[in-house]
Amino acid sequence: MAQLAQVKKAVNFINKQTKNFKPEIALIAGSGLGWAVPPLDNKVIVPYTTIPGFLQSTVPGHAGNLIFGSYKGHNVVIMQGRFHFYEGYQMKEFAISVRTLKLLGVQKLIVSGAVGSMDLKLRPGALCVLKDHINFMCNNPLIGNSREPEFGPMFFDMSTAYDKDMRKITLAACKKIGLRAREGVYISVTGPNFETPSEIKMFKKMGASVVGMSVVPEVLVARQCGIQVLGLAVVTNMACGIEKKPLSHEQTIRESKKAEVNFKKLMEILFVKL
Ligand code: HPA
């Protein structure tokens, strides 16, 4: 089935559940951040398991729900739980959720994720506001998946993938709530293993500040279909080899949990100001 037909099926199902609620802003909540969201009015929860053709979250720390509602009059949808290439999905399948958001009416997308940092000024607990990325997954969700004009042109510009105004608003908001934040470049890897010290040295030389196993596929799909993107990377650890400690997923979840309070405060501002 062409992806448009598949996405339309999901959208029709969701619209029935939400009575055609039209979200303007979407948040994809990264590892452990699914609960770090402000309380929404008129909340409707649609589990991924019920949506035809939708992927399922399989990783600890990722619930699988679309949460719709409004915050101070602003209509939002939160993807509580995301999908990763290392779960075994085909790259193409990553486009389904973001394209569903697009057809639901989303214009702005906040993509968040946990990362390891190569920037000594970005320590665990800090936020890296993405200004660019390097796709090191050697794959792309749009390959063989770009022939439906409803989702944008096959060839599209990536020079301003991460919206400048949204970044500016975010940095100001971080300052206001006392959250350490700095702009940086995200490099995406497939995982599931963490990197080697030599890989991290190479990534640093390439110009990356933080490394993670998600974000980029979603951003590519969103930019193709004209959604404005804000990328937020929560630093959960220094990248491999920078400190002498071994890395673990438990640490990622633990540090994300610690970041919850600040992340929630930030969303309270961003849902209104973006
Ligand atoms: N590497 C890749 N992905 C990650 C890391 C890391 O060090 N920390 C959290 N997600």
196, 202, 210, 237, best to mutate for ligand 1 pocket (most atoms within 8 Å of CB):
237
Among candidate residues 36, 57, 65, 84, the one labeled active-site is: 84
Q: Point out the residues of the chain with pLDDT beneath 70.
A: 1, 59-62
The closest residue, in CA terms, to atom 6 on ligand 1 is 116
Q: Assign residue 198 the CATH number of its domain.
A: 3.40.50.1580
Among candidate residues 75, 237, 256, 262, the one labeled active-site is: 237
The closest residue, in CA terms, to atom 7 on ligand 1 is 116
Residue 252 CA: nearest ligand 1 atom is 9
How crowded is residue 216: how many other Cβ atoms within 10 Å of its Cβ?
Answer: 28
Give the 3-state DSSP-derived string for 169-237, with helices as H, strands as E and coil as C. Answer: HHHHHHHHHCCCEEEEEEEECCCCCCCCHHHHHHHHHHCCCEEECCCHHHHHHHHHCCCEEEEEEEEEE
Residue 26, classed as helix, strand or coil, is: strand
Phi, psi of 15 (to 5 degrees): -60, -35
Residue 247 CA: nearest ligand 1 atom is 7
Residue 1 pLDDT: 59
Q: Does residue 42 carry a catalytic annotation?
A: no
How does pLDDT run across 169-192, given as a tens digit for each residue? Answer: 999 999 999 999 999 999 999 999
Cα(131)–Cα(109) distance, integer angstroms: 15
Cα(32)–Cα(63) distance, integer angstroms: 9
**126 contacts 183 by C-beta, under 8 angstroms:** no
Cα(251)–Cα(264) distance, integer angstroms: 20
Q: Does residue 237 carry a catalytic annotation?
A: yes
Residue 59 pLDDT: 66
Q: Which of 22, 23, 21, 47 is nearest to 34 (CA)?
A: 47
Residue 247 pLDDT: 85
Cα(162)–Cα(230) distance, integer angstroms: 6
29 CA → ligand 1 middle, Å? 15
Residue 254 pLDDT: 82
Residue 246 pLDDT: 87
Residue 50 pLDDT: 93
Ligand 1 pocket, Cβ-based, cut-off 6 angstroms = 114-116, 194-195, 211-213, 236-237, 239, 247, 252
Structural domain of residue 105, as residue ranges?
Answer: 3-273
What does the DSSP 8-state code read for residue 88?
A: T
115 CA → ligand 1 middle, Å? 4
Cα(92)–Cα(100) distance, integer angstroms: 14
Residue 118, classed as helix, strand or coil, is: coil
Residues 6 or more apart whose CB falls under 8 angstroms from that of 65 comprise 34, 45, 46, 47, 48, 78, 80, 81
Residue 217 pLDDT: 97
Q: How many domains does the structure of the chain reveal?
A: 1
Q: Does residue 29 carry a catalytic annotation?
A: no
How does pLDDT run across 19-31, given as a tens digit for each residue? Answer: 999 999 999 998 7
Residue 72 pLDDT: 95
